[in-house]
């Protein structure tokens, strides 16, 4: 007997989310249907609230229920340093690590000629505008160590050059505890070029 | 030593189901043409990274029953320097047939580099008889496979370089179609990535060739004529005289100056992706391309044997050697030299052939199998060597 429609609809919606396949979606739905009052109605309310309240921050494009977001409003944050990240997931990861005391800028992707993502698809102009308006002294490019991430970092350093702002990137390559002599040349070269004064 | 001690296949090429233990360092598989001998070697080659010895797509590998190929699986049990492990590859469960997934001791592997850390395989096949006649691409791939066995990161460098170059080509082409100049900062970013990865991969190729030449000159190849290898590549040549970072700068400048030329050509016309592997018959001082087919085969055997010895010394395990129809093309003297060299190497080797008699001298050294009718049965003339 085919499953009734509302269930299949719900499974179909869940299965489209990252980390869910049809099988795991079906398992989650079945679990929730055992106790709909406790597991489903609060979820439905939370979904509605989040959808209504959460917006991208007009300054950094973080997702928050306040605009500007709680990071941009925080008076303790160092406004002279902006950390550029690919997406909100990376912003949240850096926040969890408590590694950065400045502000952020979410780019919304990385340059990909094959994927059809160009400079106009990324929040590059808003970044340049923030730097011009806010007295930013340093921009940290915290982009992924992929070809696309490195290309985007290179592209941004070029665009940022006229502003005179200091541009740095995450040192990459040398893992903690990694002995230099077992690293491959590419990694070693990247680490060498990312060297900093001590 | 790295040893494949058991191979299990399900719906792989012509093999519906197969479980075969390998108890000796040398395995000989004989059978008529079409019996599936090469398919067995291909399955073993697919337990390592890459597309295996036929360069096949994953969707081509399933046994055909009617129209669509069936989901396939190949699994090997290995004994390595770090103990035993199980490696499996095949169609992902519930996934698309054009993908292939890997499992190490039952847990999914995310990257092929993790595989390259543990397993390496090198092969010689009849298709490679044209290696010295055909284009540089096949020779470059042969070289890169040899480098990969020494440096598991090499494949990642090659892939990153090719990715950046494909994006550069796309940007130049799009701009040309639309009658405008491509974004110079974006191009510079891609050329920077190409320079970094291109120099790293060229340095790795150059390093392997130097070590391989030293091994070949040291006479590790027994009765085979020593080959001398050289890389025809301006990037590798520049690394002879300049530090890597200076060569990177040179490449960036070169590509930045060649954008109009490359846009018109629709391709990047210079760089390490154009490298060629040159081989010389060292005792006779003649290029391999001018040697007889038999001598070319002997040179390739010499390279593969020297490479196995080199990798064994450098990494603590030698690659699995998959020698498809190799013995039959050698004269009796060379064949004897091959068998002696294989017995002396710390490498596991798999040999195939149609003529079982050719392998009789391996009695006491190799375990023999006969492939016929989708089955693999012990060859009574080549029983498992004693004391193994
Ligand atoms: Zn914000």
> Which residues in chain B are closer than 8 Å to A189, comparing Cβ atoms?
196, 199-200, 244-245, 248
Query: What does the buried/exposed string (b/e) look like for B178-203 if buried means 16 or more CB atoms within 10 Å of the residue's CB?
Result: eeeebbebbbbbbbbbbbbbbbbbbb
Substitution target from A147, A156, A195 for chain B, most B beta carbons within 10 A: A147
CB contact under 8 A, A185 and B203: yes
Cα torsion B208, B211, B214, B220: sign: negative
* Alpha helices, H only, B218-331: 234-241, 244-257, 259-265, 293-315
- What is residue B110's predicted lDDT score, i.e. its pLDDT? 76
Strand B286-287 versus strand B375-378 pairing type: unpaired
Q: Is there a contact between B279 and B227 (Cβ–Cβ < 8 Å)? A: yes
What does the alpha-carbon distance between residue A175 and residue A184 come to, in Å, rounded to a whole number? 12
DSSP tag of B195: H
Return the pLDDT at A178.
Answer: 38
Whether the CB of A107 is below 8 Å from some CB of chain B: the reply is no
Map residue B21 onto helix, strand or coil. Answer: strand
A82 pairs with which residues across the strands? A103, A139
Nearest-CA distance B192 → chain A (Å): 7
Could you tell me if residue B76 is inside a domain? Answer: yes
Walk me through the domains of chain A, giving residue ranges and CATH numbers. 5-53 (1.10.8), 77-193 (3.40.1360.10)
Provide, as residue numbers in chain A, all residues whose Cβ is less than 8 Å from the Cβ of B248: 189
Indicate the average pLDDT of chain B.
92
- At residue A194, the pLDDT reads 58
The residue-averaged pLDDT of B155-167 equals 93
Predicted local distance difference test score (pLDDT) of residue A198: 39
Domain membership flag for residue B377: yes
pLDDT of residue B115: 83
B250-264 per-position pLDDT tens digit: 999 999 999 999 999
**Is the pLDDT score of B172 beyond 80?**
yes
- Residues of chain A with Cβ-Cβ distance to B94 below 8 Å are 21, 23
For residue A187, the model assigns a pLDDT of: 56
In a domain, B1, yes or no: yes
Q: Does A120 touch chain B (CB under 8 A)?
A: no
Contact between residue B102 and residue B110 where contact means Cβ atoms under 8 Å apart: no
pLDDT tens by residue, B289-324: 999 988 899 999 999 999 999 999 999 889 999 999
Residue B48 has pLDDT above 60, yes or no: yes
Residue pair A163/A131 in contact by the 8 Å Cβ criterion = yes
Measured at the CA of B176, the angle between CA B171 and CA B178, to 5 degrees, comes to 100
What's the token pair of residue B165? 């170059």
At B313-369, the pLDDT tens digits run: 999 889 999 999 998 778 888 899 999 999 989 899 999 999 999 999 999 999 999
Report if residue B97 sits inside a domain. Answer: yes
**Angstrom distance (rounded) from CA A119 to CA B62:** 43
Enter the tokens of residue A6: 């509302």
pLDDT (0 to 100) of residue B224: 87
* Partner-chain residue, chosen from A114, A146, A185, that has the shortest CB–CB distance to B244: A185
Q: Do B153 and A153 touch (CB under 8 A)?
A: no
Put simply, the answer to whether B189 touches A151 (Cβ < 8 Å) is yes
Segments of chain A with pLDDT less than 70: 1-4, 171-198
Measured CA distances, B178 to A111, B173, B182, B189, B337 (Å): 19, 9, 10, 21, 62
pLDDT at A175: 45
Q: Does residue B171 fall inside a structural domain? A: no
Enumerate the residues of chain B whose CB falls inside 8 A of the CB of residue A169.
none
Q: How remote is the CA of residue A156 from the centroid of ligand 1, in Å?
A: 20
Confidence class for position B210, pLDDT limits 50, 70, 90: very high
- The residue in chain A having the minimum alpha-carbon distance to the alpha carbon of residue B162 is A147
Identify any residues that bridge with A63 across adjacent strands, giving them in sequence order.
Answer: A56
Question: Does residue B379 register a pLDDT over 90?
Answer: yes
Quote the distance between the C-alpha of residue A98 and its chain's center. Answer: 15
Q: Do A119 and B192 touch (CB under 8 A)?
A: no
ipTM of the complex: 0.78
Q: What is the CATH number of the domain that holds B1?
A: 3.40.50.300
The angle that helices A5-15 and A22-34 make with each other, rounded to 10 degrees, is: 130
Q: Which pLDDT does position A145 carry in this prediction?
A: 86
Give yes or no for a contact between B150 and B315, defined as CB atoms under 8 angstroms apart. Answer: yes
Distance CA A75, CA A77 (A): 5
Domain residues for the domain of B49 are 1-120+317-388
CB proximity A52 to B under 8 Å: no
Question: Please, what is the average pLDDT of chain A?
Answer: 86
Q: pLDDT exceeding 70 applies to what percent of chain B? A: 99
**Ligand 1 centroid distance, CA of A152 (Å):** 21
What 3-state class would DSSP assign to B2? coil
A150, B183: Cβ pair inside 8 Å?
Answer: no
Lowest-pLDDT range of A155-159, B79-83, B265-269: B79-83
Q: How many domains does one find in chain B?
A: 1
Asked if the Cβ–Cβ distance from A184 to B245 is below 8 Å, we say: no
DSSP state of A167: E
From CA B109, how far away is CA B117, in angstroms rounded?
Answer: 12
Residue B211 pLDDT more than 50? yes
If pLDDT is split at 50, 70 and 90, which confidence band does B388 have? Answer: very low
| Closest residue, chain A, to B172 (C-alpha) | A113
- Whether residue A29 lies within 8 A of chain B, CB to CB, comes out as no
Contacts of A151 in chain B (CB under 8 A): 164, 167, 186, 189-190, 192-193
Q: Of chain A residues 129-148, which have a CB less than 8 A from chain B? A: 146-147
C-beta atoms of B189 and A118 within 8 A: no
Length of chain A: 198
DSSP for B33-100, written as a single string: TTSSHHHHHHHHHTTSSSSTTTT--GGGSBPBSSSSBPP-EEEEEEEETTEEEEEEEESPTTS-TT--
């Amino acid at each position: 007997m085919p499953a009734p429609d509302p269930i299949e609809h719900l499974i179909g919606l869940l299965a489209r989310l990252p980390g869910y396949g049809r099988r795991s979606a079906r398992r989650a739905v079945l679990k929730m249907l055992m106790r709909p009052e406790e597991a489903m109605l609060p979820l439905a309310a939370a979904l509605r609230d989040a959808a209504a309240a959460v917006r991208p921050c007009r300054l950094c494009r973080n997702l928050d229920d306040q605009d500007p977001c709680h990071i941009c409003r925080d008076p303790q944050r160092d406004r002279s340093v902006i950390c550029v990240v690919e997406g909100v997931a990376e912003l949240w990861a850096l926040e969890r690590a408590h590694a950065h005391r400045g502000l952020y800028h979410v780019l919304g992707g990385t340059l990909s000629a094959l994927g059809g993502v160009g400079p106009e698809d990324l929040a590059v102009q808003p970044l340049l505008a923030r730097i011009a308006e806010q007295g930013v002294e340093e921009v940290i490019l915290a982009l992924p160590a992929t070809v696309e991430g490195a290309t985007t970092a290179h592209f941004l350093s070029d665009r940022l050059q006229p502003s005179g702002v200091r541009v740095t990137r995450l040192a990459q390559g040398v893992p903690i505890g990694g002995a230099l002599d077992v690293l491959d040349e590419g990694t070693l070269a990247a680490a060498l070029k990312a060297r900093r004064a001590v | 030593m790295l040893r494949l001690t058991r191979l299990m296949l399900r719906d792989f090429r012509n093999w519906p189901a197969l479980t075969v233990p390998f108890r000796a360092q040398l395995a000989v598989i004989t059978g008529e043409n079409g019996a599936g001998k090469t398919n067995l070697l291909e399955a073993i080659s697919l337990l390592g990274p890459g597309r295996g010895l036929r360069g096949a797509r994953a969707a081509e590998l399933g046994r055909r029953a009617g129209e669509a190929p069936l989901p396939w699986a190949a699994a090997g049990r290995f004994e390595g320097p770090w103990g035993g492990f199980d490696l499996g590859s095949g169609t992902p469960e519930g996934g698309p047939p054009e993908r292939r997934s890997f499992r190490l001791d039952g847990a999914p592997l995310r990257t092929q580099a993790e595989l390259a850390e543990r397993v390496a395989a090198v092969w010689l096949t009849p298709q490679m008889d044209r290696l010295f006649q055909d284009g540089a691409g096949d020779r470059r791939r042969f070289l890169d496979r040899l480098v990969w066995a020494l440096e598991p990161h090499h494949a990642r460098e090659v892939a990153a370089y090719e990715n950046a170059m494909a994006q550069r080509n796309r940007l130049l082409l799009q701009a040309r179609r639309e009658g405008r100049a491509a974004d110079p900062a974006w191009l510079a970013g891609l050329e920077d990535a190409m320079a970094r990865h291109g120099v790293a991969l060229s340095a790795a190729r150059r390093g392997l060739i130097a070590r391989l030449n030293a091994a070949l000159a040291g006479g590790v190849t027994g009765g085979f004529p020593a080959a001398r290898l050289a890389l025809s590549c301006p990037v590798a040549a520049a690394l002879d005289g300049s530090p890597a970072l200076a060569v990177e700068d040179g490449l960036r400048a070169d590509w930045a100056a060649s954008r109009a030329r490359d846009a018109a050509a629709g391709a990047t016309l210079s760089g390490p992706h154009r490298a060629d592997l040159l081989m010389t018959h060292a005792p006779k001082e003649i290029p391999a391309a001018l040697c007889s087919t038999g001598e070319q085969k002997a040179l390739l055997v010499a390279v593969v044997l020297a490479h196995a010895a080199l990798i064994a010394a450098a990494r603590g395990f030698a690659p699995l050697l998959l020698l498809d129809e190799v013995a039959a093309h050698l004269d009796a003297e060379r064949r004897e030299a091959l068998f002696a060299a294989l017995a002396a190497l710390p490498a596991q080797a798999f040999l195939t052939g149609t003529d079982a008699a050719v392998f009789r001298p391996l009695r006491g050294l190799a375990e023999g199998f006969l492939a016929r009718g989708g089955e693999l049965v012990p060859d009574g003339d080549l029983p498992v060597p004693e004391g193994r």
